[in-house]
Chain A
Amino acid sequence: MASIELNKIVKQYGAVTAVHGIDLAIEDGEFVVFVGPSGCGKSTTLRMIAGLEDISGGELRIGGEVVNQREPKQRNIAMVFQNYAIYPHMTVAENIGFGLYTSKLGKAEKDARIRETAKVLGLEKLLERRPAALSGGQRQRVAIGRAMVRDPAVFLFDEPLSNLDAQLRGQMRLEIKQLHQRLGTTIVFVTHDQVEAMSLADKIVVMRDGHILQVGAPMDLYNRPGDIFTARFIGSPEMNMIGATLRDGRPEFGANSGSVRWNVGEGVPSGTGERKVSIGVRPQELTLMTADGGQSDFLIEGTVRVAEPHGSETFVHLDLTEGSIVARAPSDRVYRPGEKLCFAADGKNVRIFDAATEKLLH
């Protein structure tokens, strides 16, 4: 096991900078997930940790030692790739054993390690099969087995679940989490799927355009996103954003003033003058009001455009005077297009972001 430190890590491809001097500390045994849209630099960062990409600037430490110039094999890491990268010309046993190719262990010991790994991953009966005869989930397990068998200090996962169907993805997610709980090895996991990030991570690193936007525990990021991008990226459906103007500490909703009402409490940035802001509230934090909303701090009223029943809940898309929002509603009734609905939220759950800098104000 080992900690990982990234100090001002930069990656440049010619004149293009893919990663802009990022700093990050990953604790020993931590499960860290890099999340962000395509091209945000998350895979590049992972590949720099693996030693598959040269580091253009900064310092990378694994287990306290600077490893910038070390070959992948000298870093005591193991990596699981998006396409599994299990060799089609080798059996499952040979694939798992390949992780021990350079190991000085004896044959009997290697065999024992392969069997032990196969047992943990439920591959014992498949050891003589070739990858072509395996399902997607089994192939992924073989890839994990090849990484596990070496007992590395760090596991690196590069979008390992993106080629699986939704059901299998959920199952493998669970298995990876259990594996981490059992092994306690440091894991760095890259994904563009926020559900994976939320459900797996001890710590999520949100990246965009080669920068780290926010680092934190999943629920911290969910509850206190530092900016609009993180607020929208984490959580599904994404956070609603309603344009407003903050005048002398009071929000004004312009064209939406008939649809949105907010009796602001304490903590809202005061001061004089006006400032363009975005008011953020999650669909799950809205509650359907049966009457006129009573004494709720935050009320929002709109017309149903479309309703998506999910079984246990229904997500209702509401048109406001300007723009639209999504709200979670009970699934015990039918919501018809054109119907007027009113939702309330606790003022504590309503966030204010600066429209220009996109940073959280409140």
Chain B
Amino acid sequence: MTTAPASIVTAATKYRFRPGLIVAWTLLFIGGIIMVTPLIFMFSTSLKSAGQIYDLRLIPASPTLDNYIRVLSDGRFVRWFLNSSLIAVVVTVSCLFFDSLVAYTLAKFNFAGRKVIFLAILSTLMIPTEMLVIPWYLMSSKLGWLDSYWGIMFPGMMTAFGVFLMRQFFETVPNDFLEAARVDGLNEFQIWWKIAMPLVTPALSALAIFTFLGNWTAFFWPLIVTTDKDLYTLPVGLSSFAVEQSIQWEMIMTGAAIATIPTLLIFLFFQRYIVRGVMLGGVKG
């Protein structure tokens, strides 16, 4: 009667008493707490009135939704929310289209200089945004793009990271699929759109999530390129709460809490794509 479970008991024992695993889980648990605490604190503060914000208790003594009503009835906040939404959506769609197109070309066509072009694109990943901001600004200024949606969006319309990520995925698409479509009479654009793109949906999802989140939280470049408050994105607008009046932490935290909702929702629904994307494309913050 005891023969069958023997191996299970051994496996469970091994699993339970491996010291390395205990250390790893403990570190991950502490890491998780460190990551989540600011978020919890943000939501907690958003439920406090102005007088309570320096009371550091996590659960407010008298929770209130007044801050949310104030923020949402402030026309500027709604405008910034819409600005961020528009910019994130347009840039995401653009990245999905152009990054995939370039990646597909680099993965599936043989032409002289293919590797050099890919390396050149990849090498731009090493240049930090801070170094690019000045040339971007000068370019925007000369072309009259300052204080415009296009000015905010253009640097992100195509990304080296997206090209890299998508190329890795397109490499895995068997050539037979593409050749079968070629024999069936599709042109190269149709083959990409009708055959290759549906086959890399997981990668497209991952790229869409990364791009959307990256642009939703974009702060540095939108801050520099815009002075018109109507064009502010949400992070820039929230920071202006802190600057223009005495710092209203409860308002900033409420705005930030609302701004976090799309991010949380996206992560909740597309978690597996994010994990897969990180595993495939290396790490991207």
Contact = CB atoms under 8 A, between A and B. Distances in A.
Nearest to A75: B183
Interface stretch (A94-102, A211-219, A225-233, A353-361): A94-102
Contacts of B199: 87-89
B195 interface: yes
A77 B182 CA distance: 11
A146 interface: yes
A73 interface: yes
A37 interface: no
A79 B185 contact: no
A52 B198 contact: no
B176 interface: yes
Contacts of B180: 79, 81, 85, 146
B174 A77 contact: no
B182 A85 contact: no
B184 interface: yes
A7 interface: no
Interface residues of A, number: 23
A146 B181 CA distance: 11
A249 to B, nearest CB: 54
Given A99-B184, A101-B184, A102-B185, A81 B179 contact: yes
A318 interface: no
A283 to B, nearest CB: 38
Contacts of B177: 85, 87
B186 interface: yes
A101 B186 contact: yes
Given A85-B174, A89-B199, A52 B185 contact: no
Nearest to A150: B184
Which label, helix, strand, loop or mixed, suits the secondary structure of the A interface?
loop
A266 to B, nearest CB: 53
Given A81-B179, A89-B199, A102 B174 contact: no
Contacts of A81: 176, 179-180
A165 B15 CA distance: 40
Interface string B172-196: 0010110111111110001000110
A79 B183 contact: yes
Contacts of A78: 183-184
B147 to A, nearest CB: 43
A87 B177 CA distance: 7
Contacts of B183: 50-52, 72-73, 77-79
Nearest to A81: B176
B210 to A, nearest CB: 23
B184 A82 contact: no
A146 B184 contact: yes
A296 interface: no
Interface string A38-67: 000000000000111000000000000000
B189 to A, nearest CB: 13
A324 interface: no
A349 interface: no
Given A81-B176, A83-B176, A85-B176, A102 B184 contact: yes
A207 B185 CA distance: 30
Given A89-B198, A89-B199, A73 B184 contact: yes
Nearest to B190: A101
Contacts of A88: 199
A71 B185 CA distance: 9
A144 to B, nearest CB: 12
Contacts of B176: 81-85
Contact of A73 (B174, B182, B195): B182
Contacts of B186: 73, 101-102
B184 A52 contact: no
A78 B177 CA distance: 13
Contact of A101 (B174, B179, B185, B198): B185
A81 B199 CA distance: 18
Interface in B132-190: 174, 176-177, 179-186, 190
A67 B8 CA distance: 66
Nearest to B195: A87
Interface string B86-105: 00000000000000000000
Nearest to B201: A89
A80 to B, nearest CB: 9
A357 B201 CA distance: 56
Nearest to A156: B183
Nearest to B180: A85
Most buried by A among B183, B185, B186: B183
Interface string A134-150: 00000000000010001
B179 A85 contact: yes
B179 A52 contact: yes
A51 B180 CA distance: 11
B184 A98 contact: yes
B211 to A, nearest CB: 23
Most buried by B among A72, A82, A85, A98: A85
Nearest to B178: A85
8 contacts: A85-B176, A85-B180, A89-B198, A89-B199, A89-B201, A98-B181, A102-B185, A150-B184
Q: Which 8 A-B pairs have the closest CB atoms?
A: A73-B185, A102-B185, A85-B180, A85-B176, A89-B198, A81-B176, A72-B183, A79-B183
Given A72-B185, A83-B176, 8 more contacts: A51-B183, A52-B183, A77-B183, A78-B184, A84-B176, A85-B180, A87-B177, A102-B185
